[in-house]
C-alpha cells in the first residue's frame, strides 16, 4: 500500500490531467467547421455514399408483366419533359373550359405511386411513368391506359434506392416505338413502347463514373434529330446515343470535371448552329449538336447547392438561366455571340426580381411566364429583358408546376390546388381554381396535357382530369 502523501499527490495529478483533457476536448470541438445541412441529415439514409462506389454488379431488366388495361383511342401526344416542343406549351387545338363548377373538372382516374415527382409521357392512348417498387427494390416503368389508369404492362430492374425527399424525379421520352427513362441512380433504359420489353440498359455510374446528384437524378432524357442526348458528367460532359441500339454516336470531353445536376438539356438554334445548352455543376455550356464539340461555356453561373430549372433559349442568342439557391443572383440573361463561340452575361437578376428552385419558365407570345420562389411563389409575367409586367398577387404556388394550353396558364400549388388564368401579358386574370389533392403536399411533378386530359401528381398520387370544354358542355356547363 502506498503512503498517504503519495496517494494524495497522485489523486491531484489525476484531477489536473482530467481537467486538461476536458478543456482540450472543448476547445478542439469548438473550432470544428460547421457543415451545411445536406439531404440525408434529416434521418434518411446516406445511400449516395455507397451508391457511387465501384465496382457495380451488372443490372439486368426483367420481363414485362401484363395488366388488365387497354390503350385508349385518344391519339394526342405529350412525348416527354415539357411537351412536344420541350417548351411547356401544348400545340393542341382542343378547346378547354374557362370555368369550372364547384366540384372542379371531372376526375377520370387516380392511381397511387411511390413517393416522388416523376411525371408521365403520353402517346397512343398510353401513359408512361417511371415508378419505384420499394418491396421489390426496383425501378419500374408503368404503362397505363389514358381512359381509366389501369396498368397495361410494367417492367423494371433491381436497384437500391431509399427515400431522400422522395425517390423518383424524371419524365420518360418517347421516340418512334421506344420509351427511354433515366432512373434515380442514373440508369438509362430503352423499352418497347407497346410490349414493355427492355431493349438495353446503361448504368451511367459504370460507363461514365457519373456522380449521382444529391437528390438522385432529375435530368429528363432528350431525343433530338433522332439521337438520345444526355449529360452524365464526370467522364463525359454530354453524349449522343442511337436510341434503338444504345450505341454511342459522340461524346463531349469534360476538362473542367463538371458533374451531373438535376437540370435537363435545352435545344437552341443560333447563328446557323444547333446546340445543346446545359447547366452543369460548374457553369453553363453550349455543345454542337452535330459532333458534340464544346462551342462555348461560362463558369460565371456556379451552381450553388443544387440546380434544377432548364435553360430557356430566347430570340437573338439570349438564354435565361435561373435557380432557387443563392442570396445574390436569382437569374441570369446570357447572350451567345454571332459566331456561336462566346457567351457573355447581359444582366443579373436578384432573387427578389426572379428565382426558381425547381420549375422552368415558359416563353410564350413574346413573354416569359414563371413562378418566382421569393415571396411564396407568385406567377410572374416578364418581358424578354426580364422586367416584371405583372404578378399573381395573393395567388401563390410555392414550387408548383405549370404549363400553357389553349391560351390558359395551368398552375399547381404545393398542396395540390389547381388554378387557371389567361396566359396574357395584359394582366393576371384568374378564371377558376380547384383543390385536386385532399391533404396534398409537394405537388411538384411536371404536368402533361393531351386533348383536354390533364395529368397531375402530388407526392404519392397521379390524377387525370378532363379539362376540355366538351366535358362541361355535355353536362350543361359553360365555357
Predicted local distance difference test score (pLDDT) of residue 105: 97
> What does pTM read for this prediction?
0.88
Predicted local distance difference test score (pLDDT) of residue 477: 52
pLDDT digits (tens, 9 = 90+) for 383-437: 999 999 999 999 999 999 999 999 999 999 999 999 999 999 999 999 999 999 9
3-state SS of 319-355 is EEEECCCCCCCCEEEEEECCCCCCEEEEEEECCCCCC
CA distance 411 to 90: 14
Q: What angle do CA 224, 119, 244 make, to 5 degrees?
A: 35
Q: Is the residue at 137 inside a domain?
A: no
Predicted local distance difference test score (pLDDT) of residue 11: 47
CA distance 247 to 234: 19
Predicted local distance difference test score (pLDDT) of residue 429: 98
In this structure, what CATH number is given to the domain that contains residue 333?
2.40.10.480
Predicted local distance difference test score (pLDDT) of residue 360: 98
Predicted local distance difference test score (pLDDT) of residue 327: 82
Q: Is the residue at 336 inside a domain?
A: yes
Q: Is the residue at 448 inside a domain?
A: no
CA distance 203 to 71: 30
Domain of residue 345 covers 267-307+309-357
Q: Which of 430, 433, 411 is nearest to 104 (CA)?
A: 433
Q: Is the residue at 276 inside a domain?
A: yes
Q: Is the residue at 3 inside a domain?
A: no
- Joined together, the cell numbers standing for residue 226 give 433522332
Q: Is the residue at 396 inside a domain?
A: no
pLDDT digits (tens, 9 = 90+) for 139-166: 999 999 999 999 999 999 999 999 999 9
Q: Is the residue at 319 inside a domain?
A: yes
Predicted local distance difference test score (pLDDT) of residue 475: 52
Predicted local distance difference test score (pLDDT) of residue 19: 42
**For the chain, which residues score pLDDT lower than 50?**
1-54, 478-479
Structurally, how many domains does the chain consist of?
1
Predicted local distance difference test score (pLDDT) of residue 37: 30
Predicted local distance difference test score (pLDDT) of residue 472: 73
Predicted local distance difference test score (pLDDT) of residue 304: 75
List beta partners, residue 240: 229, 250
Q: Is the residue at 32 inside a domain?
A: no
Predicted local distance difference test score (pLDDT) of residue 332: 97
pLDDT digits (tens, 9 = 90+) for 423-473: 999 999 999 999 999 999 999 999 999 999 999 999 999 999 999 999 876
Amino acid at each position: 500500500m502506498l503512503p498517504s502523501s503519495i496517494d494524495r499527490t497522485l489523486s491531484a495529478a489525476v484531477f489536473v490531467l482530467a481537467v486538461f483533457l476536458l478543456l482540450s476536448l472543448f476547445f478542439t470541438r469548438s473550432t470544428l467547421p460547421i457543415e451545411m445541412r445536406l439531404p440525408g441529415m434529416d434521418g434518411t439514409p446516406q445511400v449516395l455514399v455507397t451508391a457511387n462506389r465501384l465496382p457495380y454488379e451488372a443490372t439486368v431488366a426483367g420481363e414485362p408483366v401484363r395488366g388488365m388495361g387497354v390503350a385508349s383511342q385518344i391519339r394526342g401526344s405529350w412525348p416527354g419533359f415539357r411537351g412536344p416542343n420541350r417548351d411547356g406549351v401544348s400545340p393542341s387545338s382542343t378547346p378547354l373550359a374557362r370555368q369550372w363548377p364547384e366540384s372542379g373538372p371531372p376526375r377520370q382516374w387516380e392511381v397511387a405511386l411511390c413517393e416522388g415527382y416523376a411525371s408521365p409521357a403520353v402517346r397512343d392512348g398510353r401513359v408512361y411513368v417511371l415508378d419505384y417498387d420499394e418491396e421489390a427494390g426496383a425501378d419500374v416503368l408503368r404503362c397505363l391506359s389514358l381512359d381509366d389508369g389501369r396498368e397495361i404492362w410494367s417492367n423494371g430492374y433491381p436497384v437500391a434506392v431509399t427515400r431522400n425527399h422522395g425517390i423518383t424525379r424524371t419524365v420518360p421520352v418517347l421516340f418512334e416505338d421506344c420509351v427511354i427513362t433515366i432512373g434515380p441512380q442514373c440508369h438509362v433504359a430503352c423499352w418497347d413502347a407497346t410490349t414493355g420489353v427492355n431493349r438495353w440498359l446503361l448504368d451511367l455510374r459504370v460507363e461514365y463514373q457519373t456522380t449521382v446528384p444529391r437528390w438522385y437524378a432529375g435530368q429528363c432524357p432528350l431525343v433530338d434529330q433522332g439521337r438520345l442526348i444526355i449529360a452524365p458528367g464526370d467522364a463525359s460532359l454530354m453524349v449522343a446515343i442511337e436510341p434503338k441500339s444504345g450505341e454511342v454516336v459522340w461524346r463531349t470531353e469534360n476538362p473542367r470535371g463538371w458533374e451531373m445536376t438535376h437540370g435537363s438539356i435545352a435545344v437552341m438554334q443560333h447563328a446557323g448552329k444547333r446546340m445543346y445548352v446545359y447547366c452543369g455543376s460548374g457553369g453553363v455550356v453550349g455543345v454542337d449538336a452535330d459532333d458534340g464539340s464544346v462551342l462555348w461555356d461560362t463558369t460565371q453561373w456556379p451552381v450553388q447547392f443544387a440546380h434544377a430549372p432548364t435553360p430557356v433559349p430566347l430570340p437573338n442568342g439570349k438564354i435565361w438561366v435561373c435557380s432557387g439557391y443563392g442570396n445574390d443572383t436569382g437569374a441570369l440573361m446570357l447572350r451567345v455571340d454571332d459566331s456561336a463561340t462566346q457567351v457573355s452575361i447581359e444582366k443579373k437578376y436578384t432573387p427578389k426580381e426572379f428565382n426558381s428552385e425547381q420549375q422552368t419558365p415558359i416563353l410564350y407570345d413574346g413573354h416569359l411566364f414563371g413562378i418566382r420562389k421569393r415571396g411564396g411563389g407568385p406567377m410572374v409575367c416578364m418581358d424578354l429583358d426580364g422586367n416584371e409586367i405583372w404578378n399573381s398577387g395573393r395567388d401563390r404556388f410555392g414550387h408548383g408546376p405549370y404549363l400553357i394550353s389553349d391560351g390558359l396558364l395551368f398552375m399547381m400549388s404545393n398542396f395540390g390546388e389547381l388554378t387557371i388564368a389567361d396566359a396574357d401579358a395584359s394582366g393576371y386574370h384568374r378564371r377558376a381554381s380547384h383543390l385536386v389533392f385532399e391533404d396534398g403536399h409537394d405537388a411538384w411533378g411536371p404536368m402533361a396535357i393531351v386533348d383536354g386530359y390533364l395529368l397531375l401528381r402530388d407526392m404519392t398520387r397521379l390524377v387525370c382530369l378532363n379539362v376540355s370544354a366538351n366535358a362541361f358542355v355535355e353536362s350543361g356547363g359553360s365555357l
